[in-house]
Amino acid sequence: MDIWRIRGGRRLEGECAAQGSKNASLPILAACLLCPGTVELSRVPCLRDVDAALAILRHLGCRAEQAGDRIYIDASGITSCEIPHELMVQMRSSVIFMGALLARCGQARLSLPGGCQLGKRPIDLHLAALRKLGAVIEEDGGEIRCAPSVLRGAEILLPFPSVGATENAMLAACAARGETLIRGAAREPEIQALQGALRAMGADVRGAGTDTLRISGFRGRGCVRLRIPPDRIAAATLACACAGTGGKICIRDCDPGQFSTVLYFLNQAGCDIITKHDRVTLSSEGALRAAGQIATAPYPGFPTDAQPVLMAALLRAEGESVFTENIFENRYRQVPELRRLGADILLKGREARVRGVRRLHGAAVNATDLRGGASMILAGLCAEGETLVRDSGHVARGYEDLDGCLRSLGAELTIQREGENHGLYIQKPQALG
Ligand code: EPU
C-alpha cells in the first residue's frame, strides 16, 4: 500500500517531460510476439502494467530484457500459447495477447482480463471480431479457449469503436490469409502507434486515425527498433495539476494535438496555453472559472481518461462545470472521495455537476482506480492542509514517477509504504475500506 502525503497549496512552476505512453506500449509489447527478430523499444515507461506485460511475454517463453527506458524482446523461441489467470488479471491489456497469440500460434488459452473497475467492460466485441477472422473460441466461466484455427481475411464491423477490440482484430488479421477490413475502428493515437509498430515489423496495415483499417498480410522483418510515443493522458494530468494549483509549467516531449480537447477546456477555464511543436506551456492564476459542458467521447473527442483529472482541476472554479461520461458506466468513483476534501459534486447517472467551492481541505482518501487516484492527488495539491491518499498500487500502474515529477515542479509530497512509518496517522481509518 502506498500512502501519498500531500501538503497542498503550492503553485507548480518549472519544466517536466511527458512519459512514454502506457496505452501505446502495452499493445506494442503484445505485437512483439509476431516479430521473428528482436524488437528494441525505447522510451518505455517504467510502470506496473508494463511489468505485467513483460511477465506475460516471459511466461510465453520470450526473452525480455530491460535497460533503462529500453526493452528488448525476442519472441523467436516461444514455448507456450497459454496465459495463466494470475497474469491475466493484473491488467486490462492482457486481453490483447489473445489476438497476438492467435496470429503467432493460431491458438490461445487465457482467462478474462483485470484492470480498473470502470464498469462491466465486456470483451464481446473482441471475441466477435476474432471469430469473424475464423477463430474458434469457447468461453467457459472465466476461461477463454481459442482452438487451433486458420485465420482468413474478413470484413469486421465494430458497432462501437472499442480501442482494445480494434487492437486485437489488427493483431490477429496480420496472420490472416487475404485482406481484412475493420470498419468502425477506434481512431485513438494508440491505434496509430500500433499500426506503426506492425508496419515496422512487416505488416501491411493502413488507415489508422480513420474509422477504416485495411490489413493485408505480414512479411516478418528481422530486428526492429521503435520509440514509444508520448503519453497524452499523463501530459494532460500535469496540465490539469498546474491549472488547479496555479503556476506556470512547460510540458516537454509531448504531442499537444493529442490532448487538445483537454487544453481547450483548461483554456475555457481561464488558463493561458501556448503550444509549440512538442511543448505545452500552461499558466494559471489558480482562480479558474467553470469550463461548461464536458462530454467524454471516443477520440478525437474528450478522453474519458482525462475526466477525473480535469474534474480535480475544476473543483474550485467559479460556477458549475457539467461532465457527461459516455464511455464507462462507473467512471465517477473518484467523486465520493473528492467530496471528503470538500468538493461539491452532484451525481446523476452519467452526469456530474461540479459546483466550484472557495476552498478544499486536506483529508484521508482512497485511490479508487488509476485515473481516480491521480484525481485525488491533484485535488490534494489544491487543498489546504494535509491530504493522505491511500493507494493499493493503481497510480504506479500508469504513471511513471508522478511524485518525482510533481516534486520537481514544487509540489510538497512524499510517498510512504504502509508499515514503514509506524507513527503514520490516517484520519477516519474506519471509512477507508
Ligand atoms: N466495450 C464493450 N465490449 C467490448 C469492448 C468494449 O462493450 O468488447 C465497451 C466498454 O465496456 C466501454 C467502451 O466499450 O464501455 C470502451 O471500451 P474500449 O474497449 O474502447 O476500452 P479499452 O480498450 O478497455 C482503452 C484504454 C483505457 C481507455 C479506453 C477508452 C488501454 C489499455 N486502455 O481501454 O484506458 O479508457 O480505451 O479510451 O488502452 C486508462 O489508461 O486508465 C484506461 C482505462
Q: CA–CA separation, 48 vs 398, rounded Å?
A: 7
**Residue 240 vs residues 14, 94, 372: alpha-carbon distances, Å:** 15, 29, 13
| % the chain with pLDDT above 70 | 97
* CB 162 near ligand 1, within 6 Å: yes
Q: CA–CA separation, 425 vs 421, rounded Å?
A: 9
* CB 301 near ligand 1, within 6 Å: no
Say what the pLDDT of residue 419 is.
62
Cβ-contact 113, 94 below 8 angstroms: yes
Above 50 in pLDDT, residue 102?
yes
Q: What is the mean pLDDT of residues 198-225?
A: 94
* CB 246 near ligand 1, within 6 Å: no
* CB 116 near ligand 1, within 6 Å: yes
Q: What is the mean pLDDT of residues 39-67?
A: 96
Q: CA–CA separation, 185 vs 169, rounded Å?
A: 10
Distance 123 CA to ligand 1 centre (A): 10
Other C-beta atoms lying within 10 Å of the C-beta of residue 392: 13
Pocket test for ligand 1, best of 19, 21, 22, 23 (most atoms within 8 A of CB): 23
Task: Give the 3-state secondary structure of residue 129.
Answer: helix
Q: CA–CA separation, 329 vs 341, rounded Å?
A: 24
Going edge to edge, which strands form the sheet with 351-355?
A: 293-295, 320-324, 351-355, 344-348
| Grid cell of 79 as nine digits | 514455448
* CB 397 near ligand 1, within 6 Å: no
- Strands 247-252 and 12-17, by their bridges, are parallel
Distance 108 CA to ligand 1 centre (A): 22
Cβ-contact 375, 334 below 8 angstroms: yes
**Residue 308 vs residues 150, 324, 372: alpha-carbon distances, Å:** 43, 12, 6
* CB 331 near ligand 1, within 6 Å: no
Q: Report which ligand 1 atom has the smallest distance to the Cα of 120.
A: 11
Catalytic residue positions?
Answer: 116
Q: CA–CA separation, 428 vs 417, rounded Å?
A: 19
Above 60 in pLDDT, residue 170?
yes
Atom 27 (ligand 1): residue with closest C-alpha? 305
Name the E strands within 83-179: 108-111, 136-140, 143-147, 155-157
Say what the pLDDT of residue 115 is.
74
Across 44-63, b (16+ Cβ under 10 Å) vs e yields bbebbbbebbbbbbebbebe
Pocket test for ligand 1, best of 19, 96, 160, 394 (most atoms within 8 A of CB): 160
Say what the pLDDT of residue 426 is.
40
- Helix (H) or strand (E) holding 205, with range, is strand 203-206
The model's pLDDT over 327-377, given as tens digits with 9 standing for 90+, comes to: 999 999 999 999 999 999 999 999 999 999 999 999 999 999 999 999 999
Confidence of residue 27 (pLDDT cuts 50, 70, 90): very high
Say what the pLDDT of residue 425 is.
40
Q: CA–CA separation, 23 vs 233, rounded Å?
A: 9
Which residues 6+ apart lie within 8 Å of 390 measured at CB? 1, 2, 3, 364, 365, 366, 367, 418, 426, 432
Distance 280 CA to ligand 1 centre (A): 27
The model's pLDDT over 384-425, given as tens digits with 9 standing for 90+, comes to: 999 999 999 999 999 999 999 999 999 999 999 876 554 444
- Strands 293-295 and 320-324, by their bridges, are parallel
The model's pLDDT over 228-286, given as tens digits with 9 standing for 90+, comes to: 999 999 999 999 999 999 999 999 999 999 999 999 999 999 999 999 999 999 999 98
| Grid cell of 247 as nine digits | 503556476
The model's pLDDT over 303-323, given as tens digits with 9 standing for 90+, comes to: 999 999 999 999 999 999 999
Say what the pLDDT of residue 114 is.
83
Above 60 in pLDDT, residue 433?
no
Say what the pLDDT of residue 316 is.
98
Amino acid at 147: A
| Grid cell of 269 as nine digits | 477555464
The model's pLDDT over 108-153, given as tens digits with 9 standing for 90+, comes to: 999 988 877 887 788 999 999 999 999 999 999 889 999 988 999 9
